[in-house]
Amino acid sequence: MRTTAIMTRIFREMFRDKRTVALLFVAPLFILTLMYFFFNGEATDPKLGVVNVDESLIEILEEQDFQIEVYEQADRATVVSDNLDGMLEMKDGTYSLILQNSDPSSAKTLRLKVNQAIAAQMQTKLAGQLGINLNLTEIDIDTDYVYGDSESGYFEILGPILIGFFVFFFVFLIAGINLLKERTSGTLERIMTTPVRRWEFLTAYLAGYGVFAVIQTLIVVIYSVTVLDIVLEGSIWHVILINLLLALVALTIGTLLSTFASSEFQMVQFIPVVVIPQILFVGIIPLEWMAGWLQVLAKFMPVHYAANALKEVMYKGEGLSAISGDLLALSIFAVVFIILNLLSLRRYRRV
Amino acid sequence: MSISIKVDKVSKSFGKKQVLKDISLEIEEGKIYGFIGPSGAGKTTLVRLIVGMDRPDSGTITVLNKQVPSMEILPEIGYMAQSDALYNDLTGEENLKFFASLYKLNKKQQKERIEYAASLVNLNSDLKRRVSVYSGGMKRRLSLAIALIQDPKILILDEPTVGIDPELRVGVWQELKRLRDEAGKTILVTTHVMDEAEKCDYIGMVRDGSLITKGTPKQLKEFYQAGNLDEVFFKAGREFQ
């Protein structure tokens, strides 16, 4: 009864504040869409200058989507002035390759591709000398994918991670600031002079913001699947369950930390301390690459478990059994923080 | 006359600072009792202890024969804090409805109580407006209405007239007297304005956490042979040391 009264009030206040509603429900779609275009953009064809290179090699290179510029003579200055990604020269029977290397990782790929092209050209030449008709382009390995398909991009992994992160971030911030407002305006203290029990108060907050988290999850997932074409192999109910648990953790951390903030600005100061580190541990950087102590630290990041579970469900299509460990971890976080919240509310009323 | 609130040898410290020192007093049912003293004297702390928001370090407080803090006694206390604890994004009516729904009232009682409390503070015509557009005085009146919403036996009002205009101040005091006379409420107010103290039935003067003197305004003025309560406060303070 009292719980529903407090919930009703939370809803009413929220929907009076149109900007916060927009932040909660529209901002994630905006960021997701931007991310989608960042990671799914078509790479431009590398520009390669060639000097004194055999016609057959140029053909192979062009087949590999190189943009070829033929020069009579060229040097390092040409690479800079014509903005070439690389320059391949045949001199005294050996190849030399000058790379611009302004982006080391794409330079590496370019070198690899050039090497492959040269090797391929040599093989064809050799085969021709031996009189074998070898058509290299026809060789194609039959590839099968356990998860996803040949179209799977990085965004397929990133999408589920982001969906979890949004719920965490927005619920943390909005619930934390809302409770802070109740503290500073004195309404929390005033509520505590009524016969409301502390658990009733906290339940209202959990349920109220839980509803927002579920709506946000639905909007984000439906948008991701229908508009952005993110795969959803598993059940949407499992996605909602994961996000609901994560929202409980975010809410309880937010409300607990609001105890240590005396203004909205101080609440925002928790973002770099509490929220940003979470995103480093969600699997955008594979955990196996991290130092041992960082891997231990990841165990204390709630978003890490949620992102993992979301990836299992959305990308790999796993069911409850595969994510039970993650769900358990999230539940433990939630229970611990709920207890801490109940204790912190004691200072408003000693019964 | 029965005793509504009994404070017995209560002390309270925050850290090293002792805020209340050995306070004892009794408040009779159906009277207006005023805590008078300068800001920082410990009035608010004492009021918070009586409501049950905090525990005394030593001594006991009983409200309606029940030791506080107690969940049982909370519905009998209407509390109005020093700052207006209101939801600015909601209308006056929604604020009243919210606090009403935290008490055990059915729909019909709720509606009656909201109407009664709002008319008492003359806010009926502004109930549909958001609190954010209310004037300071209107907010004070709404806070008072919220304190009355569950029809409590005891009203505890922390600086009820601070920051409101003189006309309204007179109005609030008329209202408090009416609540005492017609509804038999026990009312505890804190104030640092001496001429408001004159309007109380009993006063307790608080300074630096100690109750330096108590009695009816008339008794005090006679006892200290003072023309007004300012002088009483001055003389009582000197004697107390």
State whether A189 and B51 contact (CB < 8 Å).
Answer: no
A187 CB near a chain B CB, below 8 Å?
A: yes
In chain B, whose CA is at the least distance from the CA of A196? B102
The CA distance from B93 to the nearest CA of chain A, in Å, is: 12
Contacts of A193 in chain B (CB under 8 A): 51-53, 74, 77, 79
Alpha-carbon distance of B32 to B155, in angstroms, equals: 9
Tens digit of pLDDT for each residue in A93-115?
788 888 888 888 778 888 888 88
What is the pTM (predicted TM-score) of this model? 0.80
Which residue in B60, B66, B89 has the most chain A C-beta atoms within 10 A of its own C-beta, making it the best mutation to test that interface? B89
Contacts of A195 in chain B (CB under 8 A): 71, 74-75, 102-104
Question: Which DSSP string do the residues of A120-187 spell out, in sequence order?
Answer: HHHHHHHHHHHT----GGG-------SSS-TT--HHHHHHHHHHHHHHHHHHHHHHHHHHHHHHHHSH
Query: Which one, of B30, B34, B25, B21, lies nearest residue B6 by Cα?
Result: B25
State whether A196 and B102 contact (CB < 8 Å).
Answer: yes
Alpha-carbon distance of A235 to A240, in angstroms, equals: 9
Contacts of A348 in chain B (CB under 8 A): 53
What is the per-residue pLDDT for A43? Answer: 64
- Amino acid identity of residue B102, one-letter, is L
- Could you give the percent of chain B with pLDDT greater than 90? 62
A348 CB near a chain B CB, below 8 Å?
A: yes
The CA distance from A220 to the nearest CA of chain B, in Å, is: 28
The CA distance from A265 to the nearest CA of chain B, in Å, is: 20
State whether B101 and A2 contact (CB < 8 Å).
Answer: yes
Residue A180 vs residues A62, A266, B197: alpha-carbon distances, Å: 62, 10, 35
State whether A186 and B52 contact (CB < 8 Å).
Answer: no
The CA distance from A21 to the nearest CA of chain B, in Å, is: 14
3-state secondary structure of A67: strand
A39 CB near a chain B CB, below 8 Å?
A: no
A18 CB near a chain B CB, below 8 Å?
A: no
Rounded mean pLDDT for each run of 10 residues along chain A, 351 residues in total: 92 90 90 84 77 85 84 84 86 85 82 86 81 61 77 77 89 90 91 91 92 90 87 89 92 91 90 88 78 86 91 88 93 94 86 70
In chain A, whose CA is at the least distance from the CA of B102? A2
Contacts of B53 in chain A (CB under 8 A): 189, 192-193, 348-350
The CA distance from A280 to the nearest CA of chain B, in Å, is: 37
Rounded mean pLDDT for each run of 10 residues along chain B, 241 residues in total: 90 92 93 92 92 92 91 92 91 94 90 90 90 89 92 92 80 88 92 88 93 92 89 87 74
Other C-beta atoms closer than 10 Å to the C-beta of B101 total 20
What is the per-residue pLDDT for A299? Answer: 87
Contacts of B79 in chain A (CB under 8 A): 190, 193
Mark which residues 255-284 of A lie under 8 Å from B by CB.
none
Torsion of CA B48, B50, B55, B59, to 10 degrees: 130
State whether B90 and A13 contact (CB < 8 Å).
Answer: yes
Alpha-carbon distance of A158 to A155, in angstroms, equals: 5
Alpha-carbon distance of B36 to B194, in angstroms, equals: 7
State whether A349 and B69 contact (CB < 8 Å).
Answer: yes
CB A118 within 8 A of CB A95: yes
- The set of residues, in sequence order, having a beta carbon less than 8 Å from that of B158 and lying 6+ positions away, is B43, B44, B47, B79, B80, B81, B82, B189, B190
State whether A197 and B71 contact (CB < 8 Å).
Answer: yes
β-strands B66-67, B77-80 pairing: unpaired
Element (H, E) at A49: strand A47-51
As given in the structure block, the two tokens for residue A113 are 């591709």
Contacts of A9 in chain B (CB under 8 A): 87, 90, 94, 98
What is the per-residue pLDDT for A47? Answer: 86
Tens digit of pLDDT for each residue in B54-110?
899 999 999 999 998 888 999 999 999 988 899 999 999 999 999 999 998 888 999
In chain A, whose CA is at the least distance from the CA of B94? A9
The CA distance from A327 to the nearest CA of chain B, in Å, is: 34
CB B134 within 8 A of CB B126: yes
Residue B34 φ/ψ, nearest 5 degrees: -115, 130
What is the per-residue pLDDT for A151? Answer: 66
Peptide bond into B69 cis (omega under 30): yes
